[in-house]
A and B are shown apart, each in its own frame.
Chain A
Amino acid sequence: MAAKRLNQKDKYRCLTRDLAWEPSYQTKEDIYPYERFEGIKITDWDKWEDPFRLTMDAYWKYQAEKEKKLYAIFDAFAQNNGHTNLSDARYVNALKLFLSGVTPLEYQAYQGFARVGRHFGGAGARVACQMQAIDELRHVQTQIHAMSHYNKHFNGLHDFAHMHDRVWFLSVPKSFFEDARTAGPFEFLTAISFSFEYVLTNLLFVPFMSGAAYNGDMATVTFGFSAQSDEARHMTLGLEVIKFLLEQHEDNVPIIQRWIDKWFWRGYRLLTLVGMMMDYMLPNKVMSWAEAWEVYYEQAGGALFKDLERYGIRPPKYVEQTTIGKEHISHQAWSIFYQYSQATNFHTWMPTDEELDWLSAKYPDTFDRIYRPRYEHWREMQARGERFYNPTLPMLCQVCQIPLSFTEPDADTTLSHRSVLHAGERFHFCSDGCCDIFQYEPDKYVQAWLPVHQILQGNCGGGDVEAVVRDYYNIAAGFDNFDYQGSPEHQRWQQWQGDRPADFNTAG
C-alpha cells in the first residue's frame, strides 16, 4: 500500500516541531540562556507559526530554481557586454555604493540569524532563522558575483570587504548591523526582521531595483528581485515574530514598542543613502524618494501599524519627522557626498539642467527654494575650474554616524544638532531620534567607532586625509573618486560609445 502523502500542515509539523526534542540532562534555561535577559516573556513556543510553512525540501527546490534563473541572466549580461548598454556610466556609481554598502550587511545578517536561530527555544522559530541565514549568505554570494563583472570594467569596486571595515560612510550601515547583532536575540529580530526588512527594505530593493532595470542593468535588477523574493518570507517572519511576542505576554508590549521606535529611526537614517541613489544616481528615474516613501512607508507602514494597534502598539516615535524629511534627505545626502567625493570609492557630479528640473517638479516645496541655489553656486564654481571639495572633516552623529547635515523638522534651513553630557564628556547627535537612542543605552554608544575621531586620533594611519584615503581605505585618488566629469571612467565610457558600430549606437 502506498504511503499516504502528508498535507502541507502535517509535513511542516514533521519537518520542524518533530525535529526538536525535550532535553533530559540539561535545563532549557541553560540551553537557551539569552531567551530571558531582555525581559521578554515566552509562555508557549508552540503558538509560533511560520505562515509560509516552508520545509527544507521545498526550500531547496525553489531556491535552486531561483539560482538557475539568476545565474543565467548574469551569464547573458556578461556575455553581451551588458554594461555597455547602460543608460549612462554615472549609473554605476549607485551600484558601487550599493554593492560596497549592502553586500557586507548581507553577511552580517547571515551571522546574526545563524546566531539567534541557535538561541530560541521554539523549533519553528529556529528553522525559520536557519533558512533566513542561508538566504542571507546566498545574497552575499550573488552580490559578489554581480560585483565581479562590474569590477572588470569600472573603478572603485576592488576591495569592498576592506572598505566596509574602514571607510567613513560605510560605518553608517556597518554600525547599524553591529548595533543589532550586539543586542539580545529578540531585539535583533525586531531590528532586522521587523523594522529593517518589513518596514524598510522594500525601499532598497523594490523601486531602486526597478530603476536598475530602467537603466539597462539586468544583472542588478535580477539579483535585487531574487534577494527581495527571499525578503518576502523574511518580512513575514518579522511580522509573525512581533505578533507572537505581543501575544505571549502583555509585559512584552512596552519593550517591543521601544525597539520599534529605536529601529525605525535607525533604519530611516540608514535609508538616506538610498534616497540619494534614487533621486540623483539613476539617470533614468522611476519615482522620487518622496514618492517611494509615500508608497512603501506611509501607505504600507500605515496599514501595518493600524493592524498592530490592537496589541497596544502605536506608530514609531518621530514618524511625523519622516514625512517632513522625505522632502529633504536625498538632497542633503547628495550635498555631503558631492563635497566629500575625494574620500569615497565612487564619483559624484552636479545634476544636469534636465535633472534639476525633474527635482523641482518632484519637490515643489523645497527644491527651488533651498537646494537649487546651492547647486547652481557649485556649478558656477566648477565652471570656473574651482570644483568644491570640502577640506575639513565633518562632525558625526554618535548614533547613526552620518555627518551632521540634516535640518530641523520645523525649520528647514536650520541645522539639527542635539548634544548631551554623559560621564563628563559631551556627545553630539543629528536628531531627537538618535539622541533618544543614546540616552537609553549610553554605555553602548560611547563605544561607537567614529571614523572622524579615529582619523584625528591617528588610528587610521597617514598624516592627512589624502594619505588615509590612499593607504588606509585603499582608494586611488583621481581614479576611483573625485568628480565624474573627466574621470578615467567617464573617458572610457565615451570611448565605448564612440567605438560602437553606428547601427548599435542609440545614444543622442
Chain B
Amino acid sequence: MTSLVYIAFQDNDNARYIVDAIVQDNPHAVVQHQPAMIRVQAEQRLEINRATVEEKLGREWDVQEMLIDVITLGGNVEEDEDRFALHWN
C-alpha cells in the first residue's frame, strides 16, 4: 500500500497560487478539484516553499499564512520560515 500525504485548500485566489507553487516544486503531486476545494496528494512527501509561493503571488508571504486557506492535511509536519513539508517516515 502506498503512503500518500495530502493537503487541501479552499478554492480561492490565494490558494490557486500556492497550488501552482506546489506543482512546480513537486512534480509527483496530483491535484484534484472538488466543489469549493483543491486537494493535492503525493507519494511520501510534499513541500511548499516560501520563495516559490512569493514568486507566484508577487508579494511577500509568510509560511504560516497558509493557515488561512488550508482545509486539511495528512502527514507529519515540518515547518520553518522558508518551507512547510508533509511526509511519512
Chain A residues proximal to chain B, CB less than 8 Å: 7-9, 51-54, 58, 62, 65-66, 69, 202, 205-207, 209-211, 213-214, 221, 225, 228-229, 231-233, 235-236, 239, 243, 286, 299-300, 302-304, 306-307, 310
Q: B1-26 interface mask toward A, CB cutoff 8 Å, 1 = contact, 0 = none? A: 11111101010000000000000000
Instruction: Indicate whether B31 reaches chain A with its CB closer than 8 angstroms.
Output: no
Are the C-beta atoms of B64 and A302 separated by less than 8 Å? Answer: no
Are the C-beta atoms of A300 and B37 separated by less than 8 Å? Answer: no
B50 to chain A, nearest CB (A): 12
Are the C-beta atoms of B68 and A66 separated by less than 8 Å? Answer: yes
Chain B residues proximal to chain A, CB less than 8 Å: 1-6, 8, 10, 34-37, 64-65, 67-81, 88-89
**Which residues of chain B are near A69, meaning CB under 8 Å?**
68
5 closest A-B pairs by CB: A213-B36, A303-B3, A214-B35, A51-B77, A213-B35
> Which residue of A7, A228, A302 contacts B71 across the interface (Cβ within 8 Å)?
A228
Nearest neighbor of B86 in chain A, beta-carbon distance = A236
Nearest neighbor of B1 in chain A, beta-carbon distance = A302
Known: A62-B65, A225-B36, A302-B1. A52 touches B79 (CB 8 A): yes
Nearest neighbor of B77 in chain A, beta-carbon distance = A51
> Which residue of A58, A62, A307 contacts B89 across the interface (Cβ within 8 Å)?
A307
Taken together as a complex, chains A and B put the C-alpha atoms of A53 and B74 apart, in Å, by 17
Assuming A9-B80, A229-B67, A243-B76, what are 17 further A-B pairs, CB within 8 angstroms?
A: A7-B81, A51-B76, A51-B78, A202-B74, A207-B34, A209-B36, A210-B34, A210-B35, A210-B37, A229-B71, A233-B67, A236-B77, A299-B4, A300-B6, A303-B3, A303-B88, A307-B89
Interface of B is mostly: strand
**Most chain A CB atoms below 10 A, which of B6, B10, B67, B77:** B67
Taken together as a complex, chains A and B put the C-alpha atoms of A214 and B36 apart, in Å, by 8
Nearest neighbor of B87 in chain A, beta-carbon distance = A307
Q: Can you offer 22 A-B residue contacts whose CB atoms are under 8 A?
A: A52-B77, A53-B79, A58-B64, A62-B67, A202-B72, A205-B72, A206-B71, A210-B35, A210-B36, A211-B35, A225-B10, A229-B71, A232-B73, A286-B34, A299-B4, A302-B1, A303-B3, A303-B4, A304-B88, A307-B3, A307-B88, A307-B89
Are the C-beta atoms of B89 and A310 separated by less than 8 Å? Answer: yes
Nearest neighbor of B73 in chain A, beta-carbon distance = A232
**Which residues of chain A are near B10, meaning CB under 8 Å?**
225, 229
**Which residues of chain A are near B5, meaning CB under 8 Å?**
303
Taken together as a complex, chains A and B put the C-alpha atoms of A188 and B64 apart, in Å, by 28
Are the C-beta atoms of A8 and B81 separated by less than 8 Å? Answer: yes
**Which residues of chain A are near B65, meaning CB under 8 Å?**
62
Known: A52-B79, A53-B79, A213-B35. A304 touches B74 (CB 8 A): yes
> Which residue of A206, A299, A302 contacts B8 across the interface (Cβ within 8 Å)?
A206
> Which residue of B71, B77, B80 contacts A8 across the interface (Cβ within 8 Å)?
B80
> Which residue of A7, A51, A221 contacts B36 across the interface (Cβ within 8 Å)?
A221
